Structure 1
Amino acid sequence: MDNKEHNHTKNLLEMAEDIKNRHVSVLNVVKELFEKIETVDKKLNSFITVNTNALETAKKMDEELAAGTIRGPLHGVPIGLKDIIETKGIKTTMGSDIYKDYIPEKNSTVVKKLEEAGAIIIGKLNTHQFAYGPTGDRSYFGPARNPYNTDKMTGGSSSGSGAAVSAGLCYGALGTDTGGSVRIPSAFCGIVGMKPTYGTISKQGVYPLSWHLDHVGPMTRRIKDNAYLLNVLSGYDNQDLDAVPREQEDFSRFIGEDVNDFSIGVPKQFYFEGLDKEIEKVMDSTIDKYRELGVNVKSVELPDMETITKAHKVILRNDAFAVHEENLNNFPNAWDDELKERLYTALEDKGHDYARAIRVRKLSKVIFNQALENVDAILTPTMSIMPPKINGRYLNGEMNDNNHIRWTITKLTSPTDLNGFPSLTMPCGFSTDGMPIGAQLIGKEFNEAKIYQLGYALEQALNL
């Protein structure tokens, strides 16, 4: 997919407006997407299940529009879902053999919210098996492929969501983010992905990977679309034990306002170490662009990042084993070998390792709050490497777990899964061979609106 095609596909809000004004029929929008999925997705493998009931829903929505009824802000807009999000009457496979025929009896909270807003669920999107892998190429249904180069990874675990949104096969999608699984495929596939403050979006009806780290997040082509989708998805849910009570807000309310005199922090240690030269070059240009916008760029300190990264790994693998222990015992042969091996690494930890990791989780909040004390956001690369080839696994040829590519891919995203701070990735440039590069904005808890404001200013200035 070239950059021109990327730019010429309609965005979520443009389509919502066209439908609302009856410039297009919902039925034709869905039919055209089905035709595009039929042809384009043969190469990308981003969908596991296409929701054929969407055609009947589209007819009803056209009739409602003709009668002057609009269900909500997303009336008739097709949205895709990572296939660990439960959908009533539609298969929810977790990208696995065990659940390949599982059909839930009720919708997850996020699906209810989407449908109340008028969105059409166009289908279920590929995922790394059980969402446990940042490469996105270990699904029971085969790897999703990057629209910019089908030999390359989409990143994971929301692999199909990244590919489908990037290729224009849906107008937005939901992913989940435990070590970076919204932001990784968003960066690798050249789209916008938000991991909001922990507990902002309900996880009720979303298959868990880690009870302490899981987030649900929107994935779109543009910043404003992302904020509007977060408006729909957010809200307290008493069925979710980790839900955070917060006032309903318009996350787009600052979009378009001047960012002159804003401050961003740039942490030179950890986040800017060992970068691919092309990423380093694009990030330097991104920092310069913010300066041109009148943003004050400051250096910030983020100590103890290796301790934070280690704590994230301990919590993730122990939570993941606890989630999957019963299925590991009941279905010992129904697993990808790499995933199964990774799950059993939790048995190497001791109880006090987990206790220390939970303590570090609190420490990481203090460290990031201190870094954000005098800036509006922290700017980092989203990834330190360009998208690897599908099935690539080890750096420098050394085949051991410490050298596994998963740790390089999640290095810059996992810290804010540990502390729950909102983190936005957005396209900020391209490599010389045309692969997208993402920049990450990290803000204080509950400060998504300001992050979107800063992201939108950069998006408009870059005009990618």
Structure 2
Amino acid sequence: MGLFDLKAKVYKPVNEVNLGADSDETYIHANVKAPRMAGILVKVFAWLLELRLVGAFIVEILKRNNLVHKLVSFANVSEPPLFTPTHAWEDNVEQQVCLIKSNSTPADRVAQAIDCLPERKENAINNSGSNFHRWTIKDYYRAYCSRGTTPLLVAKRFLAAVKESSEPNLNMSFFINYDAEDILRQAEESTLRHERGTPISVLDGVLVAVKDEIDCMPYPTTGGTKWLHKARSCTEDAYCVRQLRSCGAILVGKTNMHEIGAGTSGINPHYGSTRNPYNIDKISGGSSSGSAAVVCAGLCPVALGVDGGGSVRIPASLCGVVGFKPTFGRVSHSGILPLNWTVGMAGILAGTIEDALITYAAICHHIPFRQPTPSLPEITFPLLTSTNSISNIKFAKYGKWFNDSTEDVRSCCENALDMLCKHHGWKTVEVTVPEIEEMRLAHYATIASECTAALAPHLAKLDFAEMGWDVRVAYQVYRSFHSREYLNAQRIRNRQMHFHREIFKTADVIVTPTTGVTAYPLQSDALNTGELDYINGAALVRFMIAGNFLGLPTVTVMVGCNKEGMPIGLQFIGRPWSEATLLHLAYAMQALCSKSYKKPMVFYDLLKKEELLPRNGMTKA
């Protein structure tokens, strides 16, 4: 190994690893050694990496210094590789759930989800900033049925809001593409159905945005690039979009995203950098940046994203909304860009847990993608009318990992978890989740290899000048991974599947902060080139990886804000196919914290009769 010899790690057999609180396993903090770069610096760095010999040498130095070589490349791992995170169906004992029939239609499932929700008085938005509530799917449906407003009027307000948000004083960059004519056509059809008293479902007339990594007619699917839609045409809706459309939802366009999902900030030099509605001088997070921000800003109660490395949950947490990623295979991959096919899948961004459940009901399906087991996993919905009847819940908490965050994130999440346990009589169990940093690097090697393989046929013909500078850097690192590294990464995946199965024998869910930091400043030098900020990036993905690498269901819910008023999220990681339990717990957490939610700086109330108010005193980076 010569220059790169770092006494590579020899992994002990999995059955010798102690997962208890008294474990002597070493927790490795992500000691990222890479300076922040933007502007001319990132351009120079990209040029250097694109020089064949010089670039290869620099990349290997980076991999050496950031422990990739020690923990993945040259590591000795005895377990066989596991290439997909598929899970056999186990009859999990979940409390207070409703079993869904396998032949039910999306509209049928949505109706069943509504029956699982508690009755609640119509929401009210308090503009003083205290006791802030978001309009929900049920609120829109009530308004339509009572003739208080119509889908057409809401769609017109939406278009006015998007136009306002794009003006220079805000420059929110929510969307890559939207078609006013198509939106109004859908809204007119929904309005007619409501006037006739024949809405398809509670989603009829509800605005839903779609990340530009998911096929949705009549739009091209760009993946946040200026070129990918030219190489790959969109000819029909993705399966999840088709299910929403069959419920009467109005698909309002393609949201902005980090180019090819290759970053966590949401900074896109081609379509503008999506700004955080809580503070437009902060990042929104990525890569599903636009989907999180439109929900946060009140433009849509729900949106679709894709989560390959926390790409739904990171922006959800930074923007103070719900981010929900089901078990791998629970939502079809059909019609989603195949950038990371064993770690990524569609996820949901919503203003509330209730709306996440309704949307999940529409897009979930019984036949898991590439699921080899003959016993198909059942779909269950949580009976949210009876949260208090759930008993004996145990949260697995790895203290060293949980506390590897900023003081404001750590204290807020700790207080929220304590409050939840005290209120419901639930307990926290101290455990050790071993090899966290090893798993992060193995996931990186996996997602990099899969993205490179997916794009290779197109990149051979591509002029790199069409790519953002930060993505050009990412691609040079991505393409450096070879077969040994990929195989070792899959061996580490196998180890982690074992560890997590053992942890779930003693606890119902694993609990962590969602991100290690809150939204950080959006700096002007990054707007045209993107930025390389691997230190903040590592902090954002610190708690993300198990959900993607191991295909586990995960959900994040807002539990408070830091001193600057930026949102903080708490994450629950569940057993395979335990979506109902996760939503139960997140709903209970939301109920305790929602009274403290504050209205974002940029927010549009599409159900108010007054005209949209101008936003004053706002600056841009």
TM-score, shorter chain, exceeding 0.5: yes
Displacement of 1:208 in angstroms is 2.1
Q: Which has the larger radius of gyration?
A: 2
Structure 1 position 79 matched with structure 2 position 208: yes
Distance 1:84 1:6, change over 3 A: farther
Q: How does 1:28-427 map to 2 (within 5 A)?
A: 28-42=153-167, 43=170, 44-52=172-180, 53-99=182-228, 104-236=234-366, 241=370, 246-247=376-377, 249-254=379-384, 256-258=386-388, 259-273=390-404, 275-293=405-423, 294-333=425-464, 334-391=466-523, 403-427=534-558
Q: 2:152 aligns with which of 14, 27, 35?
A: 27
Distance 1:451 1:255, change over 3 A: farther
Distance 1:38 1:400 in 2: 30
Q: Is the 8 Å Cα contact of residues 366 and 379 (structure 2) preserved in structure 1?
A: no
- C-alpha offsets along residues 339-392 of structure 1, whole Å, 9 cap, x if unaligned? 122122234333121112112212212111212212221110001112122259
Q: Is the 8 Å Cα contact of residues 6 and 167 (structure 1) preserved in structure 2?
A: no
Give the secondary structure class of the aligned counterpart of 1:257: helix
Distance 2:291 2:382 in 1: 22
Distance 1:16 1:364, change over 3 A: farther
Distance 1:400 1:449, change over 3 A: closer
- C-alpha offsets along residues 70-120 of structure 1, whole Å, 9 cap, x if unaligned? 222311101000011111222322111104677622111111001011110
- C-alpha offsets along residues 237-256 of structure 1, whole Å, 9 cap, x if unaligned? 68x54698845634343464
Distance 1:168 1:281 in 2: 28
Displacement of 1:332 in angstroms is 2.7
CA RMSD of aligned residues (A): 2.5
Distance 1:324 1:442, change over 3 A: same
Give the secondary structure class of the aligned counterpart of 1:330: coil
Distance 2:165 2:346 in 1: 27
Q: Is the 8 Å Cα contact of residues 228 and 251 (structure 1) preserved in structure 2?
A: no
In structure 1, what residue type is equivalent to 2:350? T
Q: TM-score, normalised by structure 2?
A: 0.70
- Identity of counterpart residues, as a percentage? 25
Q: Where does structure 2 lack aligned partners over 5 or more consecutive residues?
A: 1-126, 598-621
In structure 2, what residue type is equivalent to 1:286? A
- C-alpha offsets along residues 384-429 of structure 1, whole Å, 9 cap, x if unaligned? 11212225999xxxx998x543222212112221001111011000
Distance 1:296 1:362, change over 3 A: same
Distance 1:391 1:179, change over 3 A: farther
Distance 1:89 1:361, change over 3 A: same
Distance 1:392 1:185, change over 3 A: farther
Distance 2:264 2:205 in 1: 32
Distance 1:295 1:222 in 2: 23
- C-alpha offsets along residues 278-336 of structure 1, whole Å, 9 cap, x if unaligned? 11110121122112221112212211212211210110111111111122221132111
Give the secondary structure class of the aligned counterpart of 2:381: coil
Q: Where does structure 1 lack aligned partners over 5 or more consecutive residues?
A: none
Distance 1:255 1:279 in 2: 30
In structure 1, what residue type is equivalent to 2:186? T
Q: Taking CA–CA contacts closer than 8 Å with sequence separation of 6 or more, which of the two structures ends up with the larger relative contact order?
A: 2
How many corresponding residue pairs?
457
More deviation, 371-380/344-353: 344-353
In structure 1, what residue type is equivalent to 2:219? I
In structure 2, what residue type is equivalent to 1:59? E
In structure 2, what residue type is equivalent to 1:363? R
Distance 1:335 1:200 in 2: 33
Q: Is the 8 Å Cα contact of residues 402 and 410 (structure 2) preserved in structure 1?
A: no
Q: TM-score, normalised by structure 1?
A: 0.92
Match of 1:441 in 2: 572
Distance 1:154 1:107, change over 3 A: same
More deviation, 259-268/71-80: 259-268
In structure 2, what residue type is equivalent to 1:24? T
Displacement of 1:49 in angstroms is 1.6
More deviation, 130-139/167-176: 130-139
Give the secondary structure class of the aligned counterpart of 2:460: helix
Q: 1:452 aligns with which of 583, 607, 614?
A: 583
